[in-house]
Amino acid sequence: MLMDSDYIPWVEKYRPQTLDDVLGQDVAVERLKAYAEQKNVPHLLFAGPAGTGKTSAALALARGLFGENYRASFHEMNASDERGIDVVRGKIKDFARTMALADVPFKLIFLDEADALTNDAQQALRRTMEQYTKTCRFILNANYSSRIIEPIQSRCAVFRFGPLKQEDLQKLVLKVAAAEKLKLGEGAAEAVVHMAQGDARKVLNVLQAASVLGSSVSEDDVYKVAAQARPKEVQDMVNLAWKGSFLEARTQLDSLMVKYGLSGEDVMKQVYREIVSMDLPDSVKVHLVDKVGEYSFRMSEGADERIQMEALLAQIVLAGQKK
């Protein structure tokens, strides 16, 4: 019989429940635990890439402060959905001005994707944060802290969340596999970690998608559900171009884009990673990375991705001939 938990996406099912469960952010966790113990929190700004534990840390902090009934004193909003000044003057201000019902004398507002707020909304928010600080504290979550205006940053204690280390992601993979009774084949765990690039959400989504194929997960299954090429295949394509075999490299590019259904941007990111890891002089790497950036920009502006990818391979061929 299926339980309610079987219908929950694994991203939510395995979300950390306490600060001790948050992966890889030891310095931030220690500071947040001290705030929870003292029952006193300043305004906070969580900044860093996606999938590194910012939202989980905010929810765990709320549980540590208010207990299991934290929802009565914790309000979560996504600033990318409601980003105008009217939201700050309306919903946020109305929640901030009311007294808390818990034994902690303030409530928490969690503003996810706060860097999406318009400049006018941020100007209104700075005054709200100052005016209602006795009854409400703000946690702002942003991928890019530079998009938060300086007056708000100066009102917050800033926490930097870095990409998760490979060993942390490895622990997560093994923990989830054991809980879901998944048998990981040779190289499967390493493939998940390699593909995730420090993002715990990618780990959980890939494992859940791979689990649909069966109780045994192979390395092939991981790359199949993640829509990424094997690093070895991309490496072979780049090496062919470097050695001057343009037509063979082009054929390999065709195979990658058809076999895995990859876009030009997907292939470009993997090519970049292979170029950086190649045993080449720094001057050659600088030249090639510059070309990767140029053709990536062209694709982002709407240029044909096949033509741009083949042009990048041609640049690698030319660089190899000069070497």
pLDDT digits 0-9 by tens, 143-165: 988 999 999 999 999 999 989 99
- Say what the pLDDT of residue 139 is: 94
pLDDT digits 0-9 by tens, 77-115: 876 666 566 666 667 787 777 777 778 888 899 998 888
User: How many whole angstroms separate alpha carbon 115 and alpha carbon 54?
Assistant: 14
Asked if 49 and 59 count as a contact pair (C-beta separation under 8 A), the reply is: no
Neighbours of 156 (CB within 10 A): 20
Burial of 51-81, coded b for 16+ CB within 10 Å and e otherwise, reads bbbbbbbbbbbbbbbbeeebeebbbbbebee
pLDDT digits 0-9 by tens, 175-228: 999 999 989 988 889 989 988 888 999 999 999 988 888 888 888 888 878 777
From 2-11, 55-64, 196-205, 295-304, the region with the lowest mean pLDDT: 2-11
- Residue-range domains of the chain with CATH: 4-160 (3.40.50.300), 166-226 (1.10.8.60), 231-322 (1.20.272.10)
Amino acid occupying residue 31? R
DSSP string computed for 110-164: EEETGGGS-HHHHHHHHHHHHHTTTTEEEEEEES-GGGS-HHHHHTSEEEE-PPP
Q: What is the mean pLDDT of the chain?
A: 87
Q: In terms of C-beta distances under 8 Å and separation of at least 24 residues, what long-range contacts does 284-293 make, across chains too?
A: 284/319, 284/323, 287/319, 288/315, 288/316, 288/319, 291/315, 291/316, 292/268
User: How many whole angstroms separate alpha carbon 169 and alpha carbon 275?
Assistant: 24
Helix (H, G, I), strand (E, B) or coil at 76: strand
Average pLDDT over residues 52-74: 89
Give the strands of the sheet with 44-47, arranged side by side. 74-78, 107-112, 136-142, 44-47, 157-160
pLDDT at 3 over 60: no
- Say what the pLDDT of residue 85 is: 67
Amino acid occupying residue 8? I
Residue 6's pLDDT band, with cuts at 50, 70 and 90, is low
106: CB partners within 8 A, 6+ apart? 41, 100, 134, 135, 136, 137
Cβ-count burial of 267 within 10 angstroms (0-12 exposed, 13-18 middle, 19+ buried)? buried
Q: For helices 305-322 and 264-277, what crossing angle results, to 10°?
A: 20
Neighbours of 130 (CB within 10 A): 11
- Say what the pLDDT of residue 2 is: 42
User: How many whole angstroms separate alpha carbon 241 and alpha carbon 235?
Assistant: 10
Average pLDDT over residues 292-296: 94
Asked if 16 and 176 count as a contact pair (C-beta separation under 8 A), the reply is: no
- Say what the pLDDT of residue 4 is: 52
| Token pair of 181 as six digits | 């009774």
Asked if 242 and 320 count as a contact pair (C-beta separation under 8 A), the reply is: yes
Neighbours of 303 (CB within 10 A): 14
pLDDT digits 0-9 by tens, 106-148: 889 999 888 888 888 888 888 888 888 888 899 999 998 899 9
| Percentage with pLDDT > 90 across the chain | 42
